[in-house]
Structures are given as C-alpha cells and as structure tokens.
Amino acid sequence: MTPVFSDIRSISTVAWRTALEQIRDFRLIAFGIGAAAVMTVGTFLNIADYSKRMDERARIATAARRENTLEAVALVRTPPRFLFMSEGDERSVPNVLVAVPGYLDVPHQSSAATDLVPRGFALDWSFVVAYLCGLAVLLSTYDLTSRQRENGTLRVVLSYPVRRWSILAGEYCGALCAAVPFIVLAIASGLLIVLGSGRIDWTLSDSIRCLAFAGLSLAYLSFIAAFGILISVLFRSRTTSLLVAILGWIVAGVVVPALAQPLAHAIAPAPTQREHALRLEAAQRRYGSGIRVSSLMLQPVERSSGLTEAAKAALLNRIQADLVAQHEQLVNAYKKELQAIRLDYLRKVARESAVATRIAGFSPVVLYTSLAADVAGAGAENQTAFYRAASEFLRPYTEAAIALRQRFRSAAHVTGPWVEDGTYKLQGVAWVSYDDVTFDRRLMPSFPGYHVPALLAVQAAVSGAIAFVALDLILLLLAARRFNRYVFD
C-alpha cells in the first residue's frame, strides 16, 4: 500500500467516524433544526415583505408616470427578487432617482415618515447561515480534540499507526460533512416556502444563484469548522476553547461591524443630511439675491426723449432680452451649483460606506454576508446597475426633453420679479417651469429598467469560496503544527 493511499484511507476513516459522532451530537441537531426553522419563518416574512414592496413600487411607478413633466422624470427602482436570500443594502438605497435634463438627482429623505420600529437584522438566508449555521458549526467543532483529550481517548487514537495531520484532516472533513445535511435542510425548507408562495417566477438563472449561494455558504462554514478545530487544538480545557469560540463569534459578528461605522465616519466623514440640506438652502439664497429688476433699468427708455415710440419699444425689447439672458445664465449657474453640491454629497456618502465595508470586511462573517448580497443581486452591484441604467437613460432623455422644451417654450410658465412704470414693463426670469405643460408622454423615452446579470453572482461566489478555502488552509496548517507537538502531561 502506498503512503498516499494509506493517508487517504486513514483520513476517510477518521472523517466517517467524526461525521457519525457529530451528527448524533445534540448541539448540531438542535442548531441545525433551529436554523432551518428560523430560515422557514424568515423566508416567509421576507416573501411577504417582497410582495409589499412590489405593490409599493407599482404605486410609486404609476404616480411617477402620471406626473412626469418636461421638468423632471422619476425613475423607480425594482427591488431585487432575491431579498429572501439577502437584504443587502436594500433599505439604504433610494427607491427613486430623479432625472433632470443634464443630470441625475438622488432624493434625500426629509419627511417625518420613517419607521418608528427599530430596525433589526433581516432574517434572510445569509443572516441565518452567517450567524446561526456558523454558530452551529463553531459550537460543534470547538472541542473536537479537547473533548477526546479530556476523555483520554486521544492517547489511544494517537497510538495508531497514522500521521497526526491526517487525523486532523479527517476530523475537519467529518465535521464539514456532518454540517452538510443541516445546510441542505435549511436551504430546502427556505426554497419550499419561496416556490410554494408562487410570488417569484423561477428561471434557470435563479437556480444558478441558489447553487452559487450554497457553494459560498459551504466554503464559509468550512472556514468556521477550521477555526473551531484550531481553537480545539490550541487550548487544553473545553471551557477555555468554548469561551474563545464565543468571543470570536461576538467580535466577528457584532463588534467589528459595530466599530466599522464610527471608524469609517472618522476616516472619511460624510456630511449629514442636514448639512447637505443647509448647503442647498444657502445656494438657493445666494441665487435668489442675484436676481434684480429695478425701475432704474427703465430710465434709459424714459430719458431718451428724442426717440420715436417704435424705437423706444425696440430699446425696451433689447433691455428686456438682456435681462432675460442674464437671469437664465444665473438659473443655469444655480442648477450647476445644485448639481455639484448633490454630487459631492453622494460621493462622500459612497466613500464613507465603502470605507466602512472595507473595515467590516476584516470580519469573515461580514465578508460572507456582503458576498451573499452580491450573489442575491442585492449588494453594491444592484445599486451600480440601477445608476448605470439611469445614466444610460439620461442621454436620450435629455435630448428629447430639450427638444420638447423648445417646442413647448410658449406654453411654459415663467415666474419672476417685474417692474412697471407707466406704459413700460420689465420682467426678469426667476424660473421657467414646464410643470404644467401638457404633451404626449409617448414622445419621451421611457426608462427600460435593468437587471443584475447572474454571472456576477457566480463571480462573487467563486471569489468568496477561493478566499475562504485559502483561509481554511492557513488555519488548518496552524492547527496541524500545534497538533504535531501535542504532548500529554
């Protein structure tokens, strides 16, 4: 028998024994079934939530379609279909973008109608796997070797003619195999609810997403198993390794994400919504104070007494045209400034959240949940796809809107200050509004919507799986080094 073959044999024997022992362990059974139950309830709640969101979206979209004017168009985002798999950034991404000829605006929240109920964790699949299944695997592996050591069986096991590292590898494989049925059970119970609800038309790409999710989850749980084995080898008493396991879970799952936000805010502070609103108001005031129409402007017409009435009218027209041109320039400058303020705000907010994601990514739990959000199509990719589609829509929209504005110029509603002196009248333009212009809405291009390609899900899953397997190898190597030097006192 070649040594490699014997290694494989001993690994598979140990794996088989460990898997049997693990599957009978009440911790794994209780947690596995508990996770499946939470997954079922969570999926049910999320599916109900999804239909509510779709109704809300339909209502906003109808209202927006009815009210699209030559002034602006509201673009409504479609909520990702796989919200039950991962909420991602769903609750912080705006539902509506406003397309104004020339640029996109992101509405900021300012009404008081926010949720009064505190925002908890969403009970989606990624939460259940990251926190509950992760805990199940961690709590069933933290004492794999220390338990045998306390029982005294380790002495016997180590006397067998097999290499120590192959025992460790066998235990790792066994623990992972024991976890697989429970993950399958959890995902299957969730899927049953999804398919049974009939709310989601299942396609091939959805199956791909599900497979990608399962693969990524398995890679994540293998990392947790490797971590459990490492601490079971590192410490001599079960209680110590248990406490270290709990500490690890709390730090990775709660402390790191909680610290990431204030840290990111300190590194790349984004202005608050209020500061943003104040900047906008200040710009508005500056612009308002720039518009001037006074009776002094009428003086050249009155003073030039030698002119005929027709010449006076021509002079007045020229002054009036100059005034309008000046004010339109002012309005354009104001719009540009608004755009700059908004873009600056968005850039800073995006930067802060990117820094926060990067900091939180040090925790494997957060790394997994953010990758799962990408797999579900609810992560940053979804947001980017919406913005990309909106920017692509912007060009034809701008062209159409400007052309239509030229056509309906006479119907536009012009507001502004004016002065009157005798028969002479001057008007400045504070705003040209196309709000009330009626036109055929079919002349305006319609927003085609967008979708996040399933390939991105596979990409995220594969890159995540590679990262987790690499981390596994490092942890297992550390554990093997330690296990090779294990001595009994």
Partner 1 sequence: MIDGLLAVVRKRLQVELRSVTWFGSVLLLFLVFGAAAVRSIGLFDLDSAAFDTDQVKHQNDADAVFQTYSQLSVAVDRQPAPLRLLIRGGEDAFASCAVTGGRFRPTSFRSRQTAPPSAQGAFSFDPARVIALLGSLTALLVTSGTIAREREEGTLQVVLTYPCRRSVVLLGEHLAALLATILPVIASVAGLIAFAAATGRIHLDGETLGALAGVLAMLVLLLSAAVAAGLFISASTRNAATAITASFVVWVVFAVLSPAAASSLVTLVQPVDVAPSNPASSATLMQYSLGSYELKHRDQERAGREGLQRIRQADLYGAMTTSSPYMLFVSGAEAASGTGIDAYKAFLSRVHDTESQFVRWEDGMLAQYPERATTYNAGDFPIDLGGIPQNQVFVAGGILGGGVAQRLLMMLIWNAALLFAAYQRFARYDARV
Among residue numbers 66 through 85, which ones bind partner 1 (CB under 8 A)?
66-69, 71-74
Residue with Cβ nearer partner 1 (36 or 38)? 38
Rounded to 5°, the CA angle 135-140-145 comes to: 135
Q: Does 288 bind partner 1 (CB under 8 A)?
A: no
Residue with Cβ nearer partner 1 (107 or 453)? 107
Q: Which one of the spans 5-13, 42-50, 165-173, 174-182 is the region binding partner 1 (CB under 8 A)?
A: 42-50
Residue with Cβ nearer partner 1 (135 or 293)? 135
Q: Which one of the spans 15-23, 59-67, 371-379, 439-447 is the region binding partner 1 (CB under 8 A)?
A: 59-67
Residue in 80, 101, 174, 257 binding partner 1, rule: CB under 8 A:
257
Q: In the window 209-248, what residues touch partner 1 (CB under 8 A)?
A: 238-240, 242-243, 246-247
Q: Which two tokens stand for residue 289?
A: 């104070």
Residue in 18, 95, 141, 222 binding partner 1, rule: CB under 8 A:
95
Q: Does 177 bind partner 1 (CB under 8 A)?
A: no
Q: Does 274 bind partner 1 (CB under 8 A)?
A: yes
Residue with Cβ nearer partner 1 (67 or 399)? 67
Residue with Cβ nearer partner 1 (136 or 167)? 136
Q: In the window 409-468, what residues touch partner 1 (CB under 8 A)?
A: 433, 435
Query: Closest separation between CB of residue 252 and partner 1, Å?
Result: 12
Residue with Cβ nearer partner 1 (120 or 152)? 120
Residue with Cβ nearer partner 1 (328 or 436)? 436
Residue with Cβ nearer partner 1 (23 or 280)? 280
Q: Does 104 bind partner 1 (CB under 8 A)?
A: no
On whether the CB atoms of residues 475 and 223 are closer than 8 A, the answer is yes
Query: Closest separation between CB of residue 319 and partner 1, Å?
Result: 26
Q: Which one of the spans 54-62, 295-303, 378-386, 391-399 is the region binding partner 1 (CB under 8 A)?
A: 54-62
Q: Does 139 bind partner 1 (CB under 8 A)?
A: yes
Residue in 127, 182, 386, 397 binding partner 1, rule: CB under 8 A:
127
Query: Closest separation between CB of residue 71 and partner 1, Å?
Result: 6
Q: Does 154 bind partner 1 (CB under 8 A)?
A: no
Q: In the window 305-364, what residues touch partner 1 (CB under 8 A)?
A: 349, 352-353, 356
Q: Does 90 bind partner 1 (CB under 8 A)?
A: no
